[in-house]
Structure 1
Amino acid sequence: MSPSVAPPLLPPLRRLLAQPGLHLRLLTMETDLPAGALDQPVDWVHSSDLPDPTPFLSTSQMLLTTGRQFTSDTTTDAFYTGYTERLADLGIACLGFGTEVVRDGTPDALVAACLARGIPLVEVPYGTPFIAVARAAGDLVAELRFARDTWTLAAQRAISLAALRPDGLSATLSELSRQLGHWVALFDPSGALDRVFPRDAFTGASASRSSLDRAQREAGRMLRRGQRASLSVDDGAETLSLQTLGRRDQLRGVLALGGRTALDQAGQEVVTSVIALAGLALEQNTALGRARGHLRSGLLHAQLGGQVELARTISAELWGGFPVEPVRIAVTEPPPERLDALTEFLELRVEERGGHVFYARAGSSVVVCVDSSAGPLLGDLVGFGLHVGVSDPAEYRSLPRALAQARQALERAQEGEPGIVAFELISRQGVLAFLARTDASEVGRAALAPVSSHDAAHGTALLATVRVWLEQNGQFGPAADALGVHRHTVRARIGQVEHLLDRDLSSFHARADIWAALLSTGGIPAT
């Protein structure tokens, strides 16, 4: 990558010291100072002869003094040490000593104290007014700000031209990476890495790869919250900047940048313009996705209507065909605010696994068809906080039955936390167990009402007796043992139940009907 390097926002100390006409002389040798001491920025020049000027200073400033505070009463090593320690703790960029005003030359003790604390110390000759140093620093700041503004406009123009290329989004992100000298990554609505620039940014770079992994984790958290947000993270190796794309509750992804230095205001302005362009491009892709969604829904209805070959031909031209039989059908009902994110996620999976996944909307539901190799994809749907029902394996000619199975499984899944329920789980429990989760409960309560009303009015246990009796296959002895009563008592109670229900419970049909009624009302635990 050949970055279009942006000029710094503030002049480095080295450049100020080299300004012609100032005749500033560095008294602390660069080799004796901390690395980069002369490259730190200078944002202002201030003069003061106070013993403690730090309340009136800020970080990255240059302090000028004539030394009036260094009187005969204060010129001790302890005073110089305390003076320079306060300046170092504040983080000033440089100390300048004006000679021939109060005293000749710069005190050796001050030079030693500055060296001990790593503060660059320069001598300002009598012929150089302090105002000249301040003016020179101001001119450098103005020059760099103009250069920075010029770079920002040029960078934004280059990025805007990149957006006009055939693959505008990729070209825009690639140009952003080149202009800033940072890597740029785009994460899709599911939090998966969609693309990264430069494309070889992480080849053999373990530290940067770790930063990308950190960015992906943070992007996933931002997307799960479903709100527009920005985030800056310093992971030790690099500084990361993340920004969601899209509207609240309709996030299209996250843009992430990483580099060894944080973005300044000019860099942030360039990123802001890219966020607007990327958001627009993703919105356009979403509009196209909606059109494709309508076509998918039409193909699903064609399949359900038996026109499998027609649907297969159209799908093959657009998405690589249908999954190979036998297939499983999954159904989920996402909330409206998550529908777009879910369909975008599925669209990306279709592109990645053409011919293994097909999906379509059916009313408020999303129907997903997968072959055996794409089954793990269904587990990703739970990450959206969804309930999912899955059919048994089926041929396309049995698609309506498979869809019905998936819907029944979805009803069961919606009874608990988000997760997947397969139809085979329901079928293993049997038909009667399913009655407890259908509208049969009202019918069951009505069928048993004469017995339950009698129990409530007279304090009897006829309903519990008939339940235990049926569990014991209609045998009076075992039922009596289970209830702790005499078998004649059980026989009498069953006779009373038959009278109340006006039914003969000696037949299998009648017993099965009462058992189903008990089960549908919750009178028998489902197995």
Structure 2
Amino acid sequence: MAITVRRLTQISDLGLSLVAGLEGADRVIDWAHAIELVDPTPWLSGGELVMTTGLKIGTSADEQYNYVSSLVQAGAAALAFDTGTTFARVPDGIRAAGDALGLAILSVPASTPFIAITRAVIDELTADQIRAIQSVVDQQETFARATLRGGIPAVISALGRALSSSLAVIDIDQRILAVHGADAPHAVTLARSVADAARSGASRRRSTSKVIAGDHGYCTIQSISAAQDLHGYLAVNSRGPLAPSDRLLVAHAVSLISIELSKPAKVVDAEHRLRAAVTQALLAFGEHVDVSLLRFFGFEPDAQVAAIILTDVGPLLAAERRTTTLLGADATPYLMTPTESEIVVIVPAEASAEIGTRLHQQVGAQLQRSIGGGLGLPATVFAAARSMKQASVAARAGGLQDKKFVNFAELGTFSLLLGSQSTEELQAMSHSVLGALDDYDNAHSSASGLIATVAAFLEHNGQTEVAAAALGIHRHTMRNRLNKVVELTGRDLDSAHVRAELWIAVTARELLGTLEDRR
């Protein structure tokens, strides 16, 4: 945080008071300089706190006005006037000039030496520099993590957020590799113009760094090279010139992008295979997975995650590539593996709904086919398998709704059943209520269908004739079957409690069937 005139007056040990030029109180001080000259301007470069005892300011109001005016023209931040040597108080001419010209005038008590003010300013400036350096270091770590998790699109998004700017990266063939921000198209255009100039011979330098000013602000264009080879260009479109700390961040991002662009295809393939292997191990073995492997992909042991399943994706290789590209556009960590006909993705729980919906829409659009999808409930990272099963059930439910992407949490009874119940518990629940009906159906013709009869009866709110029509049987047959259900279960079907119990059991049976189908 830069030191302003106002902040300097708030340092109680100095005892400074603002006596004129209040509108300049928020100007930033770049340095503190004691000077006793009639015309100090040749020694000023702008932003200084000028300190004087008043020896050369003149005695008349006009002289004092001219002195203050010269400081304003030189870009001084403020004037600190000593009241213990030449003057007992700040002269009225200095005060009036400060108010008229908007230059902050500070009254310095006799007990405060100029060196104390200079030291206070230097301390604040040093602290600012340390904070700026620490911020750069923190951002560099963020960029490194983003690169590991999502490659070039992720580091570009991280850099764009850090600089509040629009960015674009193109390769030497002028293909867009990543963009960020509303003005990214303009950044792409300028980057391509530099690439065209380099290719045509107008610029023979392999390494290019230039700034183009225009209606869209300032565009800093940096070439991306590795091992003497030019790989592309990074364009950063900002409102103003980049500060030194911002240029450091750009340079660091360029280095990371260079590494990514020069990364051998075998390394990329190895990372992809490792991610899939870690995902499969996590789903199969849970807490027995090596924590360091999870951390490599951005997940802490206490992380909350949710599983996303994309179904009916067609050829898996193409679907994997599309999904990987889309996930890489964010700095969000993810794990991913294909199954026989699906793509399973594990992401942080807080972003799972947005990511799942986006993947379902964009992967389907890029593959030019209608795909299904589901999202499981949040779980600890070591319990990701449970979330995956829930996502599978949600995807199946979505398949009955024109392959809509379904969040398991929105399935009502389904969510209640599988939210905390294991497969074994569901089997026990279903058998305790429906076991006798199962035995009867198994021992008789499949046409008897007592389980199907109960399901239809419940589905149609106990309306016997409507349920009979749905099953394609006579109403008397329907009543006979219901009487057999009452006989075998010993339960009164007119009871709301019994109907609820039967509905849960039937629903559990359906979900168990879904899980079996997807194994």
> Which range, TM-score by smaller chain?
0.3 to 0.5
Which of the two has higher C-alpha Rg?
1
| TM-score scaled by length of structure 1 | 0.46
